[in-house]
A and B are shown apart, each in its own frame.
Chain A
């Protein structure tokens, strides 16, 4: 590997420089795609995927199960490891307390700097 050839922005921009196959070539253009582009991705033939909610994931999973049932599959697995984070009452109270403390600290700091 030629380390000196790695651009400094690799970790931010995901350059995908070596297009060896069709999938990779497709993905070269995918980096700049927006959410709207996903609509052209058909289930089972996606070049990109970007679920925004549990509902979307459940819909996709249900569609995949239905397709497998049609194909007479009898033992199936659905996995969505590491589900996105969800807000809870406890976390909302905590974030409210943090924002209170932060605003109090900022106000105290601005008063002391004026004085």
Chain B
């Protein structure tokens, strides 16, 4: 078996799966709403490769087009060459017009360093139209912001904070040591949100079903989500106890989840709602 998870499996498999699933979603969205959907890849070479791989699927999908974040910037020689030249002699179509005429944009496979380009694209091309980031794992990308060689944290405050999760599943596995048999207790769950529903902490059952154990209108920080699962299992430590401090540490949220640091600087709370 192969794992197509972004970090546990092959990256080629992950990016190809994301494109394939985004085409499937775009096709269904067009059928349901009649809107033209434009799937946006990070750059020309990726567009070139994806076009060749998914040419048949794209040609059979009405209202779905493929493009890239630099499609409006063909003034540089290298950018133009990267998109139009192919060793197989096959030239993908110019995606600029499809990008201009689309109703909904779906960004796929952008990495942290490409987020500023996504922001520029959203300002210059998408404007007030809808933009969906498809399985880009923004939480993982946020973790890189502010590090050497990566965009600053301001990108979260300015741009990423505006992006509302409308369908979100984040699975986590936890274990806790106890002083009685079985000594180690394993439990799993998923942080779940399906618009317009609330954020839900779901505990995995024996039969693979995820059952809601807590819900609220605002997103759970990962630490709070873990605590909800522990409470449901009867494994939570006494509030304010030493053992609780020793297990969780002083800080229980990431900088972007933290209300004092992230909350005070962000321009929108949409990403939490």
**A-facing mask of B207-240, CB < 8 A → 1, else 0?**
1111111110000000000000001111111100
Let me know if B170 and A76 touch, CB within 8 A.
no
Let me know if B131 and A14 touch, CB within 8 A.
no
Write the nearest CB–CB distance from A93 to chain B, whole angstroms.
12
For the complex, what is the distance from the CA of A97 to the CA of B121, rounded to whole Å?
Answer: 49
Cβ of A24: which chain B residues have Cβ within 8 Å of it? 213-214, 232
Let me know if B2 and A77 touch, CB within 8 A.
no
For the complex, what is the distance from the CA of A76 to the CA of B131, rounded to whole Å?
Answer: 6
Count CB-based A-B contacts (< 8 Å).
240
Confirm or deny: A17 has a beta carbon within 8 angstroms of a beta carbon on chain B: yes
Residue of A nearest to B3 (CB): A85
Residue from the list B162, B196, B203, B236 in contact with A14, Cβ < 8 A: B203
What are 30 A-B residue pairs whose CB atoms fall within 8 Å in the complex?
A: A1-B235, A3-B179, A11-B185, A23-B215, A27-B232, A31-B205, A47-B211, A47-B212, A50-B207, A50-B208, A58-B24, A62-B28, A66-B29, A68-B196, A71-B195, A74-B128, A74-B130, A74-B131, A75-B162, A76-B130, A76-B133, A77-B138, A77-B164, A78-B134, A79-B136, A81-B6, A85-B3, A88-B1, A90-B2, A91-B2
Q: Is the interface of B mostly helix, strand, loop or mixed?
A: mixed
For the complex, what is the distance from the CA of A86 to the CA of B214, rounded to whole Å?
Answer: 31
Write the nearest CB–CB distance from A22 to chain B, whole angstroms.
9
Confirm or deny: A49 has a beta carbon within 8 angstroms of a beta carbon on chain B: yes
Confirm or deny: B109 has a beta carbon within 8 angstroms of a beta carbon on chain A: no
Size range of the interface on B?
A: 35 or more
Let me know if A76 and B179 touch, CB within 8 A.
no
- 3 tightest Cβ-Cβ pairs between the two chains A and B: A44-B197, A30-B211, A27-B211
Let me know if A34 and B207 touch, CB within 8 A.
yes
Q: Which of A49-74 contact B (CB under 8 A)?
A: 49-50, 54-55, 57-62, 64-69, 71, 73-74
Known A44-B197, A58-B25, A58-B28; judge A81-B1 contact (CB<8 A). no
Cβ of A50: which chain B residues have Cβ within 8 Å of it? 207-210
**A-facing mask of B131-167, CB < 8 A → 1, else 0?**
1111111110000000000000000000000111111
Cβ of B236: which chain A residues have Cβ within 8 Å of it? 1
Residue among B2, B167, B206 with most chain A CB within 10 A: B167
Cβ of A57: which chain B residues have Cβ within 8 Å of it? 169
For the complex, what is the distance from the CA of A25 to the CA of B138, rounded to whole Å?
Answer: 32
Q: Which of B1-34 contact A (CB under 8 A)?
A: 1-6, 8, 13-14, 17, 21, 24-25, 28-29, 32-33
Let me know if B196 and A1 touch, CB within 8 A.
no
Residue of B nearest to A1 (CB): B237
For the complex, what is the distance from the CA of A62 to the CA of B162, rounded to whole Å?
Answer: 20
Q: Which of A10-46 contact B (CB under 8 A)?
A: 10-18, 20-21, 23-24, 26-27, 30-31, 33-35, 38, 43-46
